[in-house]
Chains A and B, each alone.
Chain A
Amino acid sequence: DAGVTQSPTHLIKTRGQHVTLRCSPISGHKSVSWYQQVLGQGPQFIFQYYEKEERGRGNFPDRFSARQFPNYSSELNVNALLLGDSALYLCASSLELAGSYEQYFGPGTRLTVT
């Protein structure tokens, strides 16, 4: 089975632009979470979606938004990009059945804002 996939792998944007990152979860997984990892730090939680509903949100500004589609794939949108948004953006999916809540991560999207 394929793991979590993310696209694009890398991208470069300019300050003030908008970006959309995409994630496809492992087949059968209904929960998708997004994390931001700045260089030298551990991943920081941004959003979690389950069955197309937002279930949790981290301490990120309203410039960050996300959604989950009927096929459980997800998009993370960031508006008005700042230099500080440069990071590795990670998507993780989870089966969400009793006894199986571990999250499986994709390879990430490396965003550089110039």
Chain B
Amino acid sequence: DAKTTQPPSMDCAEGRAANLPCNHSTISGNEYVYWYRQIHSQGPQYIIHGLKNNETNEMASLIITEDRKSSTLILPHATLRDTAVYYCIVRGGGIGGFQKLVFGTGTRLLVSP
């Protein structure tokens, strides 16, 4: 699995967009980018994933650069409840087979009033 690099912490004002970057320069062609978040003392929560196209769901948008070496998770209108540690993970794709999640240290996002 490719390694990811994220800033240790970020701040965001409530109501503004939070843009969380992730560098994954060693990603290979069949590896997906996954984003999870973990609110204090809870289990990680799946947010979104993508291969090479930009993706959007009810929680967030994922922008992957054309060379796939980096991506950005966008929370369009951050709320206080979005305060959490955000993990960017690269994992293999394909059908079936052993696929584990390798968590780094993530980005601690603090949303303030």
A positions within 8 Å CB-CB of B? 4, 33, 35, 41-45, 48, 55-56, 58, 88, 90, 92, 96, 98, 101-108
Contacts and interface: CB of A to CB of B under 8 A. Distances in A.
Contacts, number: 53
Interface of B: 34, 41-46, 49, 85, 87, 93, 95-106
Contacts of B87: 42
Interface residues of B, dominant DSSP:
loop
Contacts of B104: 42
B44 A90 contact: yes
- For B41, B87, B99, the residue with the greatest tally of chain A CB atoms inside 10 Å of its CB is B99
- For B43, B98, B104, the residue with the greatest tally of chain A CB atoms inside 10 Å of its CB is B43
B100 A33 contact: yes
B40 to A, nearest CB: 11
B101 A103 contact: yes
Contacts of A44: 103
Contacts of B99: 48, 101
- For B49, B87, B96, B100, the residue with the greatest tally of chain A CB atoms inside 10 Å of its CB is B100
B42 A102 contact: no
A88 B40 CA distance: 12
